[in-house]
Amino acid sequence: QKEVEQNSGPLSVPEGAIASLNCTYSDRGSQSFFWYRQYSGKSPELIMFIYSNGDKEDGRFTAQLNKASQYVSLLIRDSQPSDSATYLCAGGEGNKLTFGTGTQLKVEL
């Protein structure tokens, strides 16, 4: 059974701080990893994907992948109240994509 595990949270951070979201996966064959943001009552939307070891930056977001440790993370710099949402980690491709249960992030004023 392929698994993607996340801490459900909530993770609370003050506005302007760095939020760190973590994810571990069991399938060493997974090549790609995705971070989707899901606002309450809405559909998931892609924030970032990563498939190479190391860091990938896009604006305030940085995804990190460590295949040896089977670990993926998402850093959000200068967190804003609008970042408050559930963040879903997913690993794999196409019909083999496995989602984690999501981490709820709350950015407090």
Partner 1 sequence: NAGVTQTPKFRILKIGQSMTLQCTQDMNHNYMYWYRQDPGMGLKLIYYSVGAGITDKGEVPNGYNVSRSTTEDFPLRLELAAPSQTSVYFCASSYSFATNEKLFFGSGTQLSVL
* CA angle at 70 for the pair 72 and 88, rounded to the nearest 5°: 35
Residue 70 interacting with partner 1 (CB under 8 A): no
Q: Which is closer to partner 1, CB of 23 or CB of 107? A: 23
Which one of 10-18, 39-47, 66-74, 75-83 is the stretch in contact with partner 1 (CB under 8 A)? 39-47
Residue 40 interacting with partner 1 (CB under 8 A): no
Q: Which is closer to partner 1, CB of 2 or CB of 77? A: 2
# binding residues, partner 1 (CB under 8 A): 24
CA–CA gap between residue 28 and residue 46 (Å, rounded): 22
Return phi, psi of residue 103, to 5°: -115, 125
Of positions 79, 100, 103, 105, contacts partner 1 by CB under 8 A: 100
Minimum separation from the CB atom of position 29 to partner 1 (A)? 12
User: Could you write out the DSSP letters of every residue in 20-64?
Assistant: EEEEEES-TT---EEEEEE-TTS--EEEEEE-SSEEEEETTEEEE
